[in-house]
Amino acid sequence: MGYQHTMADGAAVALPVGKVVCIGRNYAEHARELNNEVPSEPLLFMKPSSALSTMSEPVKVPRGLGSVHFETELAILIGERLSHADEQAAQHAIVGVGLGLDLTLRDVQEKLKSKGHPWERAKGFDGACPLSPFLTPASVGDLTDVQLRLTVNDEVRQDGNSAQMITPILALISYISQWFTLEPGDVVLTGTPAGVGALEPGDKLRVEIVDLLRVDTCAE
């Protein structure tokens, strides 16, 4: 079976599986660690629905394509159609808050960037977006104060808070909807904090919204 959105209580979400809209460089320290400029407005790119996989299943590391990096992000599940929406409409449309791994073929990405080419081959491959189950927005509370953490082989590698985002979550969703419509079942990945690094087969991962959600998985 393919990927299906689920809630943290195990219930399937009665929404289609849509596109994934990703935000690049939304944490200043992450932009700096990759020697990128901090953007003056949100940097958008997308992953197709075929990139989605279930985070609790082993994360597939592509072979023969160079370094594969993990990027841990808060994932927002959209439940209503949004076009030219304000932040109030954006908040009303959120039906789930979870975690995603924006897997990146870093060597491929750098080669494409050096030629001025799009990144899709580095970001949109099959399995490039493992997702956790989703929590209800009410159980998460304030979206401007959510702690996310990635531990690899018992070492904390990423530990950030949504308060550190350059553009907050509701503003991001509103901004995206000014450029293209978000549909029910779409997911927004909201950017990754500093600490990204290479993922190796055999790595043990723990991905958390601290005190609210935890997924243990492995790379293979």
Are 162 and 168 spatial neighbours (Cβ–Cβ below 8 Å)?
yes
- In 30-103, beta strands by DSSP E: 43-47, 52-54, 68-70, 72-78, 94-101
CATH class for the domain made up of 20-218? alpha beta
Residues 138-180 have pLDDT tens digits of 999 999 999 999 999 999 999 999 999 999 999 999 999 999 9
Pick from 183, 189, 196: which is nearest to 23 by CA? 189
Output the CA angle 171-82-39, nearest 5 degrees.
35
- The pLDDT score that the predictor gives to residue 119 is 85
Domain boundaries, the chain: 20-218
Contact 14, 183 (CB under 8 A): no
In sequence order, which residues have a C-beta less than 8 Å from that of residue 62 and are 6 or more positions away? 68, 105, 125, 127
Gap between the Cα atoms of 41 and 46, Å rounded: 16
> The pTM is what?
0.95
Positive or negative, the Cα torsion across 11, 13, 17, 19?
negative
pLDDT per position as a tens digit, 3-41: 999 999 999 999 999 999 999 889 977 556 656 676 788
